[in-house]
Chains A and B, each alone.
Chain A
């Protein structure tokens, strides 16, 4: 079993020190925006290394790193990308269902806007349930989209 490479330790100290000085706060640590990445060394790391480093920082500072930055960091892994897509899809559908009167509860917010520590397996718990056949029956006046006809013709 291989040990975790040592390349993160020094940089982790660097980032943690910066975080402790308030240089990085929620919402500012967005790796999708290059102008917000200050460390040249950090830029030279590949995505997996950056992800590992950020995980370490997050594990150290926990809740301080929730928010947009956490959302972006989590998205470095395929599992997180998949979970994010599934979660957002549920959110869109639940919001749409609410608008259509097919649901009474408030729309769910996708996990990607929540804590980084939330495991992917815990998302996608909401299932879009159509309450009854009568409500969702398509009529010719309201041709809801299908795979063949997206219902978006001008």
Chain B
């Protein structure tokens, strides 16, 4: 018995010792959010003042910060507005496409996306057919919301199991089966929503020639089409830097294209 007490005391001490560390991480995160909020506000002011260049730089800078989905969506949306006003409709399409993935139920983001696609000469993102409707339905709930629903279902399942142990009864057993079924549906939905978010987080914004190597000497004789979703495989040079190259995988296979021919909204890993 004394052994159990000793172990418990050690665990409490260890947890107390970790508290300052946890608080430090929380403070750092809070500090990051405050800094990002300040940058966001500054970008808004620059845009309102007609300084689109500064607004664009500030919004793009925010994409390099560690942001959650709820914050990242407005940043991408506003960046899309900056590109739209500048007449860069393909860039706007890419930014709005990324925005609706973070804010799938935003009417404004969808409207702007469709308008930008029309201006860029692309087909509508939501064609209104069965496949597009199902895809939009799946994407209407964010993975975080699905995860939250999953945890609620797990809690409900646990409660139902406890009650069933004491009371028994058919309706409690039905509730348990229902909870398990709903958890399964939730997990499948979560899988598809997550996979779709993670897949091909970049878009070709200029119809581009694909090269075998990161130079213009060895063309593959294939082109990446405007508006095509691609997956970034490798980079040569900093993102946004002049002369940078990106290796992508798209509909036409794998190849290199110039960085400025691509809008990449993948989450920046520091």
Query: Is the pairing of A and B real?
Result: no
Q: Taking beta carbons and an 8 Å cutoff, which residues of A are in contact with B? A: none
